[in-house]
């Protein structure tokens, strides 16, 4: 029988790409989202890409216990992937209560409802932010977590702990929960169809949407935050992971849970390429691959940025059989195709 996966926050950037990959892998998917940070563009794109018009969609607020409980009691859900969360680092510093309230309550409601209604598998979307400024790169899953540098990062650490505690506490009970934490590095790009991609509201915080919006003329100039870091070209180093590759990691992880292949009751995987790329290298690649010149300038460092972080993805490669495949060039071409699609070009 086909297994059903609930994707909370499934209309957003990562959620929509994951929904496509799950459907293409043969899962039934239920999408739920409160639409607080997206519109229906990506959900409509998902239907077009998969040719599936009847994907169940629920507009629900995961902070409302009753709504979450009803979703789990009305539907037979085999696994849940929890994305629904606020994600802007700077905003979380300005509005910590809003971040803790939303990101913690929504996850607690999901865990409680899953455990009460026979959904034993919970995948939590975590972030490389949990490593803070690491003493050593690349980071493995055993690299110690550092104190979070923002309330956003703190919610990721707290949700990781909550899931691990829940897995321990429910072991052997009717409401048993098994967990996987995927720690994403920097997801970028768009689906090769250019029908779904990143859709930031207002001024983008993240590098690639700022680049594509500058290239299309929506923004005047990209500021590269800091060129005096102790790195080869002075700009920060990150591990940019293609969004479709990242989405595929979820298919491997869900399969692992549903086919009882897990080696521990709560597993952690880094989802990255293992290759550091500097901000300047990324900008230069974008220009080269897409044959255009980008208006950019060097600006002061951004508060809270770490100098260098990239993944050691060996565990995900060996244990899950997943590996990042698309090159940064392909990914940057896809990001540009998506921006042009949005502009109707
Ligand atoms: N950058 C610029 N100019 C911009 C935007 C970003 O130079 O306009 C630089 C940043 O300074 C950084 C790099 O591009 O060096 C990447 O920045 P992003 O904002 O795209 O990504 P971050 O690495 O800051 O953020 C990611 C995730 C967050 C997570 C954070 C933790 O998007 O969810 O890592 O480090 F919290």
Q: Can you read off the two tokens belonging to residue 205? A: 């915080």
Does the pLDDT value for residue 247 go beyond 90? yes
Q: Which residues have a Cβ under 8 Å from the Cβ of 130 and sit 6 or more positions away?
A: 145, 148, 153, 156, 157, 160, 183
- Ligand 1: atom nearest CA of 211 is 8
Whether 131 is catalytic: no
Task: Please give the structure tokens belonging to residue 60.
Answer: 């629900």
How confident is the model at residue 1, as a pLDDT?
87
C-alpha pair distances (Å), 129 with each of 54, 101, 266: 36, 19, 19
Is there a contact between 272 and 320 (Cβ–Cβ < 8 Å)?
A: no
Question: Mind listing the pLDDT tens digit for each residue in 214-238?
Answer: 999 999 999 999 999 999 999 999 9
The ligand 1 site (C-beta within 6 Å) comprises: 87, 89, 127-129, 152-153, 186, 205-207, 210, 222-225, 236, 238, 279, 302, 305-306
pTM, two decimals, is: 0.98
Alpha-carbon span 342 to 195, nearest angstrom: 9
Cβ atoms of 92 and 99 closer than 8 Å: yes
State both tokens at 156. 């990721």
Average pLDDT estimate for 12-36: 98
How does pLDDT run across 167-177, given as a tens digit for each residue?
999 999 999 99
Give the pLDDT of residue 296: 98
Q: Give the chain's mean pLDDT.
A: 97
Tokens of 171: 């072991």
**Nearest Cα to 244, choosing from 43, 18, 24, 47?**
18
CA of 71 from ligand 1 middle (Å) equals: 34
Nearest residue (CA) to ligand 1, atom 26? 186
The radius of gyration of the chain from alpha carbons, rounded to an integer in Å, stands at 19
Spatial CA neighbour of 89 closest among 28, 49, 149, 137? 149
């Amino acid at each position: 029988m086909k297994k059903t996966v609930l994707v909370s926050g499934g209309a957003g950037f990562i959620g929509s790409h994951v929904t496509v990959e799950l459907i293409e892998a043969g899962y039934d998917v239920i999408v739920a989202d409160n639409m607080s940070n997206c519109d229906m563009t990506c959900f409509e794109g998902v239907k077009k890409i998969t040719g599936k018009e009847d994907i169940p969609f629920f507009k629900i607020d995961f902070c409302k216990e009753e709504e979450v409980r009803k979703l789990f009691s009305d539907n037979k859900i085999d696994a849940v992937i929890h994305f629904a969360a606020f994600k802007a680092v700077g905003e979380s510093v300005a509005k910590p209560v809003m971040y803790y309230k939303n990101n913690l309550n929504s996850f607690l409601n999901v865990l409680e409802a899953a455990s009460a209604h026979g959904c034993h598998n919970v995948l939590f979307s975590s972030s490389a932010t949990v490593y803070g400024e690491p003493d050593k790169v690349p980071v493995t899953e055993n690299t110690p977590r550092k104190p979070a540098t923002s309330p956003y990062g703190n919610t990721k650490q707290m949700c990781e702990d909550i899931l691990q505690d829940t897995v321990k506490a429910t072991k052997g009970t009717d409401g048993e929960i098994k967990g996987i934490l995927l720690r994403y590095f920097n997801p970028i790009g768009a689906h090769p169809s250019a029908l779904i991609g990143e859709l930031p509201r207002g001024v983008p915080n993240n590098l690639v949407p700022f680049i594509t919006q500058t290239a299309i003329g929506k923004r005047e100039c990209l500021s590269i935050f800091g060129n005096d870091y102790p790195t080869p070209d002075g700009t920060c180093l990150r591990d940019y992971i293609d969004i479709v590759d990242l989405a595929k990691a979820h298919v491997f992880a869900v399969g692992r849970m549903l086919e009882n292949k897990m080696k521990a009751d709560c597993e952690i995987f880094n989802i990255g390429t293992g290759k550091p790329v500097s901000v300047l290298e990324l900008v230069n690649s974008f220009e080269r691959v897409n044959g255009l010149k980008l208006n950019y300038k060097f600006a002061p460092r951004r508060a809270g940025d770490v100098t260098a972080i990239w993944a050691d993805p060996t565990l995900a490669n060996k244990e899950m059989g997943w590996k990042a495949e698309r090159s940064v060039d392909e990914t940057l071409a896809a990001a540009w195709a998506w921006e042009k699609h949005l502009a109707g070009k």
